[in-house]
Structure 1
Amino acid sequence: MRQRCRRRLAETGLRAVDLHELCAEFGSRRARPVVLSSMTMPSNNIHAMLVRASEADYIVYERDTTPLHQQHLIAHELGHLIWDHRGLTGLSGGHADYDPVEELEAETTATLLLERQHRTLAGLARSERTRTMGQALGFEFGRW
């Protein structure tokens, strides 16, 4: 799954590292904005959602949580957009039904986006010598 998601990310040609910039770049490439909006979510079970409107795609995420959790929520919903997932498939017993393969793709894509962000930011903080050693060991900074 990680390899499939890496290939998908590479196909997008996205260069930005920061999630807000990634959303803007992805929206620009599709000529369809990705708008980020934080709010206090109405349920303990829902932390984020993707809303596809006629003029834009909206990633709405929980305001009342940690910045790290917010980053993960944004990355997960962006993963759904990158894969062009259809989203909610129905309701069962009052709970939302989501395609488990789509959720795994979105979650794995989110992990790769956040890993790339961390590696790149950590790489900027490293000395040139440490960076050279990391590359010699096979670490790729700022790449999928």
Structure 2
Amino acid sequence: MDLTHPFSLDALCTRIAERRGRPIRLHPLPREAAESGVCGLWVGTETVDYVFYEAHTTPLHREHIVLHELGHILFGHHSLEGEENDGMAPVVLGRTNYTTRQEQEAEMLASMIRIRTSGAGHSRPAPGPRGALARLESAMGYDAYERGHRDGS
């Protein structure tokens, strides 16, 4: 997947839409849906993909929600697990938990995109336990100065 640097969610949506041959429209969730515990939703029709996200959260969380829903689109998830979709009805996938395989796949892809585009994936810490910790710290936004300062270096 070609990810721009600096990362642009709009550019990613445009590339995915071009590849699928239909636009992706981003919208905040209606308040009632957000209050019910849904923080993201994908509604896929034959002509357009609608991605809804929780509006009353941080910009980073909103972006992650949209990336999660894009994960469903990219993986080609078509229905809630255990439900059949005859191809005529719109695809509707709502994000409330991560207990199904589809939710776990979409969440993993969203996390991988965030790590890759945050710059954390560009440096290669040393292998081994300290290297694994450095990669985790980097993915969580701690920079080398903070690690060195905390370690007394």
State the TM-score, normalizing by the size of structure 2. Answer: 0.61
The aligned residue for residue 114 of structure 1 is 114
The structure with more radius of gyration = 2
Query: What's 1:21 paired with?
Result: 11
Unaligned 5+ segments in structure 1 are: 1-12, 124-133, 140-144
Seen in structure 2, the aligned counterparts of structure 1 residues 113 and 54 have a Cα distance that, compared at 3 Å, is same
User: Relative contact order: is structure 1 or structure 2 higher (C-alpha 8 Å, sep ≥ 6)?
Assistant: 1
Please give the root-mean-square deviation of Cα atoms over the aligned residues, in Å: 3.1
* 1:67 corresponds to: 59
**What amino acid is the match of 2:119?**
R
After TM superposition, give the deviation of residue 98 of structure 1 in Å: 8.3
Q: List runs of 5+ in structure 2 lacking aligned partners.
A: 84-95, 128-134, 136-153
Deviation string 1:43-92 (CA, Å, 9 cap, x unpaired) is 3310110011231101011111111110110010000001000132469x
What percentage of residue pairs aligned between the two structures are identical?
30
Local SS of the residue matching 1:68: helix
Q: What number of residue pairs does the alignment pair up?
A: 112
The aligned residue for residue 7 of structure 1 is none
Q: Distance in 2 between matches of 1:15 and 1:118?
A: 11
User: Which structure's residues are more often helix, by fraction?
Assistant: 1
